[in-house]
Amino acid sequence: MKPTNPVFTGIDTTVFETMSRLAMAHNAVNLGQGFPDVDGPDDILEAAANALTEGPNQYPPMLGLPELREAVARSNKRFYGLDIDPQSEVLITSGATEALADSILALVSAGDEVVLVEPLYDCYLPLVRRAGGIPVRVRVNPPNWDLNADALRAAFSQNTKAILINNPMNPTAKVFSESELQLIAELCKQHDAYAICDEVYEHLVFDGAQHRPLMTFDGMRERTVRIGSAGKTFSLTGWKVGYVTGPANLIDPIAKAHQWVTFTTPPNLQKAVAYGLTKEDDYFQNLAEELMAKRDRMTRGLRSVGFTVLPCAATYFLTCGFDGMGLGNNDVAACETLVREAGVAAVPVSAFYGGDAPTGYIRFCFCKKDWVIDEAVARLAAFLAARNAESA
């Protein structure tokens, strides 16, 4: 038989799915895949339930329900001062994943180079490759994950079609600094490149900091597409409602990709998300504050059992070193041990690399109930104590 497409043939199932399956099989506390264990606000759920029984339940407009497109445009104004035309500059997709796929398919042609910052979210490489693009990876390193200006400059060439950044960044929990964003903007303008900005964690930024989209930098409005996700903003990851904002001449081909990938996104969920985006500012502030308290709770717990917890400025992930804990020096093996023997699932950070990955870090997700965090820490403490007693 003829071979199936090599990009998707023989590759692994995503680390998130794999770890969630293992967590289930071992009855583990699942701190692997990133999802909150409490659903988003009751009034948004109620809005969705009403929209399910009262409709709409038939195909919505291909670009998305007008009321959601308007809500997305208004949020861009409210949070970032961006003036966005809801008719031509917003597209609703089935999650940020689809938005990424549509954007990459629509902007990248065979042979185009796409600059990616590594560690990277796992769908980026296969999507760029399937579009015929050539990934050019620039690595940021722990503990500070600073972007090296010379390395970034060297990654751009006359063949660069786009840079794809994730800001705030999973799994590093990094927020790109103003000067890093400024440099990215300069390089995009200098090389006439687009920027695809995965900003799904835009509202999960801590310690009083404010997210600043690359799109707000001088000269970037016309060359940037910005991707958001209701899954993250409203703690409803299973809903898969995403949005892309960008100039009309980019949204148009991206919408044409969307038209042949999913065509539309469930209208009742769109209606509820439109309602959600009208929430007062304190909803968004409280979300970040609640998560920050969880970040601190889990940081204390993980440090108390011996992990080196790296700084976390955003997202709902903690990246941790496990040197000297008796868990070896391979993150995949360490995660296997923890899920099977300690009853706690995490994800190996090496899964976020295209090759030659560091193997000394694992990621824990902290958007969990306080008692779940405490239970996970107690399990880790008991497991490590027993193991150290054995080896003593």
Q: Which residues bind ligand PMP (CB under 6 A)?
A: 34, 95-97, 121, 166, 170, 198, 200, 229, 231, 237, 240, 242
Give dist(CA 87, CA 282) in Å, integer.
Answer: 28
Q: Tell which residue, 105, 114, 127, has the closest CA to residue 159.
A: 114
As measured in angstroms, the least distance from the Cβ of 122 to ligand PMP is: 9
- Based on the shown chain and the rule CB under 6 A, indicate whether residue 79 belongs to the binding site for ligand GLN: no
Beta strand 224-229 with 308-309 is unpaired
Beta strand 361-365 with 317-321 is antiparallel
- Based on the shown chain and the rule CB under 6 A, indicate whether residue 34 belongs to the binding site for ligand GLN: yes
Residue count, binding to ligand GLN (CB under 6 A): 5
Structure-token pair, residue 383: 């497991």
As measured in angstroms, the least distance from the Cβ of 231 to ligand PMP is: 4
What's the one-letter identity of residue 213? P
| Residue 92 or 298 having the CB closest to ligand PMP | 92
Give dist(CA 166, CA 151) in Å, integer.
Answer: 17
Q: Tell which residue, 19, 13, 7, has the closest CA to residue 331.
A: 19
**How many CA atoms lie less than 13 Å away from 321 in the CB half-sphere?**
9
| Residue 33 or 265 having the CB closest to ligand GLN | 33
As measured in angstroms, the least distance from the Cβ of 97 to ligand GLN is: 7
| Residue 312 or 342 having the CB closest to ligand PMP | 312
Give dist(CA 117, CA 114) in Å, integer.
Answer: 10
As measured in angstroms, the least distance from the Cβ of 317 to ligand GLN is: 7
Could you say which of ligand GLN, ligand PMP, none residue 95 binds, taking C-beta under 5 to 8 angstroms by partner kind? ligand PMP
| Residue 100 or 188 having the CB closest to ligand GLN | 100
Could you say which of ligand PMP, ligand GLN, none residue 16 binds, taking C-beta under 5 to 8 angstroms by partner kind? ligand GLN
Could you say which of ligand PMP, ligand GLN, none residue 350 binds, taking C-beta under 5 to 8 angstroms by partner kind? none
CB within 8 A of 232, min separation 6: which ones?
A: 96, 200, 201, 203, 204
| Residue 133 or 231 having the CB closest to ligand GLN | 231
